[in-house]
Structure 1
Amino acid sequence: MLMRYAVAIILLFICGPSMAKHRHKHHHRSSHHHSVAHRSHHSRHHSAVVQHSKPKVLTEEDILSQQFEAQKGNLRLPVERVVAKEIPVAKYHIQYHPVPGISINCHSGSCVRAVYDGVVSKIFSVDDNENKVVILQHGNYFTVYNGVTQTAVKTGDKITANQEIGTVAANDDGEPSLNFQIWKAGPKKAERTKLDPEVWIIKQY
């Protein structure tokens, strides 16, 4: 009896530390799994933050808008202002109106040219008049040429700066005159803000 009791104590002494060691290994594996899971969650969170902070990709429209804005104060007039000897110099002037836009009186047959690269957005007539309104789009900006005849472009055409788009038509007084405007697109699709062309035209004019 005493011998069996002694053997039982020895076995308990031997097996006890082994079982404790097994429990320690299990706890270590559990802690390791928790640590890996935490790092995985942190990695996913970090990835989401990085993805959220990616810079905005500029569209072609954004780039065209920035390029057009950079031309502020440096745009040339859309007409050739060649003074003919038989026409008084007083006929060649710019009329500034209370509303944004300028009317440019010029020589008969003067060529109308695009002030900057863009796309022909629309061409239409007002009140069934033969004279046309040509609108060019430059990203979020638009240039409007009102009083054009013999148009040399069509809707959808890509235009380069100084490219001919037509000829100056006669106004209601029978004088060659072009009304020029600059618009900027607003937040809403059809919203347009009319800008003062004077601050966009190069000062030599």
Structure 2
Amino acid sequence: MKFIRALIVCLLVLIAAQSWAQSSAELKRKREQLNRELQQLNDELRETQKNKKTTLKELNNLKAQISLREDKINNLNAEIRLLGNQINQNTNTVHTLQSQLDQLKKEYAAMIVFAYHNQSAYNKLMFIFASKDFNQAYKRLKYLQQFGNYRERQAASIQGTQHELNNKISELDRTKKEQYNLLEDQEKEKETLGKQKNDQLQVISNLSKQQGEINKQIRDGQRQMAQIDRQIRITIRREIEEARRQEEARLAAQRAAEAKAAAERAKAAGTAAPVASNRPAPKSTSSNSELLNATPEAAKLSNDFLGNRGRLPWPVANGVITQEFGMNYIEGIKTDNPGIDIRTGANAAVRAIFSGEVTSINNISGTYLVVIRHGEYFTAYANLKSVSVSKGAKVDIKQTLGTVATDAATGETQVHFELYKGQTAVNPKIWLAPQ
């Protein structure tokens, strides 16, 4: 029973340790990702601050950093709580192992005392020869042998338990040290967060002194966003109309084939051929989704694209979202973002998030917009300074489309990315893989 209880304790500890290791690894991975994003934003903020004139982009950068730093502090809190639980578990395990070790030593000491009182060969022989019969003598001989073997096993068990206890104590010390380091990191992040919030207030104060220039920046951004949105919708409508034209041509060809077959049947039967109707062929009543998925290839591409929701690669290898999908408020002015803005490094390659066909390439205020069709889905990549694909080209997943442009005035480098299902804009973030 003691062995079974010890085995159950070991299994529970093993299961808890495995679960803790998975959670700890995930939190560490997220902390490292947040550190990379914060470092990237720090580098870009330094470049932005070289421009003596305060800009909205500097404010957006600070807001993004504050948000990421708050996420990191929350992540650190989760790690610290997890380590606290692990410390409690390890402490309980150490106490359990210490109790087991004390019990084993107590039992072993009793065996040593017994063996001491019966250590002479004469006493052992007398114990055997005092048996009533041969069967009892054999059992007493086996008992003495088993007693010797049990002493050896107890000694080995004491050594093993002592070794495990030492390992657990070392692990407990390492966990406490790691928790201490995380607490120090957390305090530094809180201090930095406070400074950045003060910086944010200063930037807002500076911006309020140049409200006219800020409003102009916002209006310019809105105009460019409207141009991008209009061009994307024109491209999608053109694709839908082309799909409708092809569908109507297919239906017309089908009707002509049916009329020809009817005429041939009438001729073979010796009757008059049916008179063809002069009425125009009816227009296709298929929905936009049915039109865009009219071919087996398009339908398969749509299904594959949908099947990868939440796992699609980002349009840049490394980046931080600075403006989310939907309604955003910049200095009290409401803006509707049909996509997401991703800040990245200078000259970063912009890549297709899925295989498809390039349907349009347009110049928008000196930068390029690339639209790719994936069955009934469309992805749009804006603010490219150069393009390495052509209209009508087939592209593969992660294939480079061009390089992202950098704002000469602010030094900011970011790509604008949109995703549509038919003519409806959807939040791209929920389709992309977590970083």
Q: Does 1:69 align with 2:306?
A: yes
Aligned to 1:146: 382
The code of the aligned residue for 2:296 comes to T
1:33-182 superposed matches below 5 A = 59-81=296-318, 92-97=320-325, 98=327, 99-126=337-364, 129-171=365-407, 173-182=410-419
Any unmatched runs of 5+ in structure 2? Answer: 1-293, 328-336
CA shift at 1:65, angstroms? Answer: 0.6
2:428 is aligned with 1:197: yes
Q: Which sits farther off after the overlay, 175-184 or 96-105?
A: 96-105
More RCO (CA 8 Å, sep 6+) = 1
Structure 2 Cα separation of the partners of residues 125 and 199 of structure 1? 28
Deviation at 1:94, TM superposition (A): 3.6
Contact kept in structure 2, 1:103 and 1:180, CA below 8 Å: yes
Please give the per-residue CA displacement for 1:158-181, whole angstroms capped at 9, x wherever unaligned.
000010000011247441110111
Contact 2:349–2:404 (8 Å) recurs in 1: yes
Identity %: 31
Q: Whole-Å Cα distance in 1 between the matches of residues 376 and 410 of structure 2?
A: 34
TM-score (norm 2): 0.29
User: Residue 148 of structure 1: CA displacement?
Assistant: 1.0
Using a 3 Å threshold, how does the CA distance of structure 1 residues 131 and 58 change in structure 2: closer, same or farther?
closer
**1:117-157 C-alpha deviation (Å, 9 max, x unpaired):** 0000100012xx22100000000000000111210000000
Instruction: Write the distance in 2 (CA, Å) between the matches of 1:117 and 1:196.
Output: 19
Q: Displacement, 1:95?
A: 2.1
Paired residue secondary structure (2:361):
strand
Contact 1:93 1:106 in 2 (8 A): no
**TM-score, normalised relative to structure 1:** 0.60
Task: Name the structure with the higher helix share.
Answer: 2
**Distance of 1:136 and 1:195 partners within structure 2:** 15
SS at match of 2:387: coil
Paired positions, count: 131
Shift of 1:80: 1.9
In 1, Cα distance between equivalents of 2:295 and 2:362: 31
Task: Say whether the 8 Å CA contact 2:321–2:340 is kept in structure 1.
Answer: no
RMSD after superposition: 1.8
